[in-house]
Chains A and B, each alone.
Chain A
Amino acid sequence: MLKITADVFSGRPNPTWVVVDDDEIGAGLSAVAKVGAMASAKAATEGKLGELRGFFIDVASDQLAADHGLSSALYLPFEPGSTGPMRDLAERLVSLASDESIAMGVAADGLEEAEALSPELLRRFVGGRLGKDTGITEADGNAAAAEEAAEMQAEAAAAVTCLVEYAAYNPGFWNNDANVRSRNNCYNYASNKRTDTFAQPGRGCGRMYTTINCSEVSRAALCDGLHRRYVCFPDSEKPRYLVALVVAPGPGFVDFHWYRRNKEGFWSHKPGGTAARNTDNSGRVITDPQTCNRGPYTNFCGYFYTCRSQRIR
């Protein structure tokens, strides 16, 4: 287990996330070891309010830390506007923040869920404080305003923390049988519901989309019973999967496509009647459906939750 804390706040608890995936931990610790010369055991004492000062890194296993030549608790200072390896490492650490890892961080710190930032806000907030590639920090000269903005973001996140489930990545269920593969599409896969009907948003509720754009396909999916992200489902609706909708706007090529977040921290999808996979059009594992290579599906419509009572046909 690897616990990462962004040293950024003064009054409220710092955002913390806990990584449990062995591969992610190994890659993260290797990256930390490369810039290990900069690490220290003490936190930075200087820095403006609301500015990213560094990261606390806690490794659960002494053996794991020793394997990478690190102590089990260290502090990585971050200079505003840093570039090169330090900036790359900071970006890598922030990219490890997921719904699951943040929820574990909240539990590890004994906080209420409402005190957690969503991964999106955390990445935007902490990532924004990494500064631009040019070495220029984000333009914000008013420390009080920065603190206030951070508090507002935290409050916004606190109001919309929902519990969701992440299923283990299991492409064999969809790929091994040619009939299952060809008769179930991205909407089936994202919903994790096999219908063998090449399911269409809105057909389950009797009001299928009438044209293909973000608003109409979203309307149809909501009609089937999905919720927009941060509109929570009760536990009785488990499993509640986090999914993302994208649209190919044309001209010519007009279609919709869905992704689903997995337990392992990546996203997976099933392009039409082809095999389910966790890679994008560039062959890279999908860590963010908003930024992955989606080919002609250039419009990102947003995130949704599926639910047990979803009508899908």
Chain B
Amino acid sequence: MDAPTMQVEIDLFSGRPNPVWDLTEAEVPALRARLEALPAAAPATLPDRLGYRGLRAGPLEVEPGVEEPGSANPIIAVEVGGGVINATRRDGTAVSLMDPRQSVECWLLTVAQGRVAEPIRQAALVDLGSVCP
């Protein structure tokens, strides 16, 4: 059976549909590892302005009874933006994580290279300014 993947969406448009791409099988656990390494934070809301707002990944379809390597209750969906991360675990629990350097946001935008139109990816990076290396 193929390992499950996650669809990622760059949330920036109002009228047009947002650009999306799929994480590879290897990128899904890499994303989870980055998320699990972050400390918990107080619940917060993502930017909801006109323009670049952040990224959303998931939800990951996990078959009932199938154990996920590394975690019995893995993160299956996440939204990141403006240093805020809100994630949902397999059992439906909502968790907020602290990522002041926006490392997950920058990593996802790096992974997006070659999979979404480059001008759109660059527009998001420009909006983040010097946050991403």
Contact A187 B49 (CB under 8 A): no
Q: Which residues of B contact A297 (CB under 8 A)?
A: 14, 50
A187-B15, A255-B15 known; A250+B50 contact, CB < 8 A:
no
Contact B15 A186 (CB under 8 A): yes
B15 is contacted by which of A257, A280, A295 (Cβ under 8 Å)? Answer: A257
Q: Which residues of B contact A296 (CB under 8 A)?
A: 50-51, 123
List the one stretch of A58-66, A127-135, A266-274 in contact with chain B: A266-274
Cα of A277 to Cα of B17 in the assembled complex, Å: 20
Contact B14 A185 (CB under 8 A): yes
Is B40's beta carbon under 8 Å from chain A? no
Cα of A257 to Cα of B51 in the assembled complex, Å: 11
Cα of A47 to Cα of B120 in the assembled complex, Å: 56
Contact A255 B119 (CB under 8 A): no
Is B62's beta carbon under 8 Å from chain A? no
A263-292 vs B, Cβ < 8 Å mask (1 yes, 0 no): 000000111111101001100000000000
B118, closest chain A residue (CB): A252
**SS of A interface (majority):** loop
Contact A253 B12 (CB under 8 A): yes
Is B107's beta carbon under 8 Å from chain A? no
B123 is contacted by which of A253, A270, A273, A294 (Cβ under 8 Å)? Answer: A253
Interface size on B, as a range, is: 10 to 19
Contact A257 B49 (CB under 8 A): no
Q: Which residues of A contact B119 (CB under 8 A)?
A: 250-254
B53 is contacted by which of A250, A257, A274 (Cβ under 8 Å)? Answer: A274
A281 is contacted by which of B16, B17, B51, B120 (Cβ under 8 Å)? Answer: B51
Q: Which residues of B contact A269 (CB under 8 A)?
A: 14
Q: Which residues of B contact A294 (CB under 8 A)?
A: 50
Cα of A251 to Cα of B13 in the assembled complex, Å: 14
Is B25's beta carbon under 8 Å from chain A? no
B18, closest chain A residue (CB): A272
Is A258's beta carbon under 8 Å from chain B? yes
Among A200, A217, A252, find the residue whose CB has the most chain B CB atoms closer than 10 A. Answer: A252
Is A212's beta carbon under 8 Å from chain B? yes
Is B126's beta carbon under 8 Å from chain A? yes
Cα of A253 to Cα of B48 in the assembled complex, Å: 16
Contact A186 B49 (CB under 8 A): no
Cα of A271 to Cα of B50 in the assembled complex, Å: 6
B1-37 vs A, Cβ < 8 Å mask (1 yes, 0 no): 0000000000111111110000000000000000000
Q: Give, as a whole number of angstroms, the nearest-CB distance from A277 to chain B.
A: 8
A251-B119, A252-B120, A252-B126 known; A271+B16 contact, CB < 8 A:
no
Q: Give, as a whole number of angstroms, the nearest-CB distance from B95 to chain A.
A: 18
A198 is contacted by which of B17, B52, B53 (Cβ under 8 Å)? Answer: B17
Contact B14 A255 (CB under 8 A): yes
Cα of A253 to Cα of B122 in the assembled complex, Å: 9
Q: Which residues of B contact A200 (CB under 8 A)?
A: 15-16
Is A55's beta carbon under 8 Å from chain B? no
Cα of A281 to Cα of B52 in the assembled complex, Å: 12
Cα of A98 to Cα of B61 in the assembled complex, Å: 51
Q: Which residues of B contact A198 (CB under 8 A)?
A: 17
B50 is contacted by which of A251, A254, A273, A295 (Cβ under 8 Å)? Answer: A295
**5 shortest A-B CB distances, which residue pairs?**
A252-B123, A295-B51, A295-B50, A256-B15, A253-B123
- Chain A positions within 8 Å of B, measured between CB atoms, are 185-187, 198, 200-201, 212, 217, 248, 250-258, 269-275, 277, 280-281, 294-297
Besides the contacts A186-B14, A198-B17, A252-B126, what 19 more A-B pairs have beta carbons closer than 8 Å? Answer: A185-B14, A186-B15, A248-B51, A250-B123, A252-B119, A252-B122, A253-B51, A253-B123, A255-B14, A255-B16, A256-B14, A271-B14, A272-B12, A272-B15, A273-B11, A273-B18, A281-B50, A294-B50, A295-B50
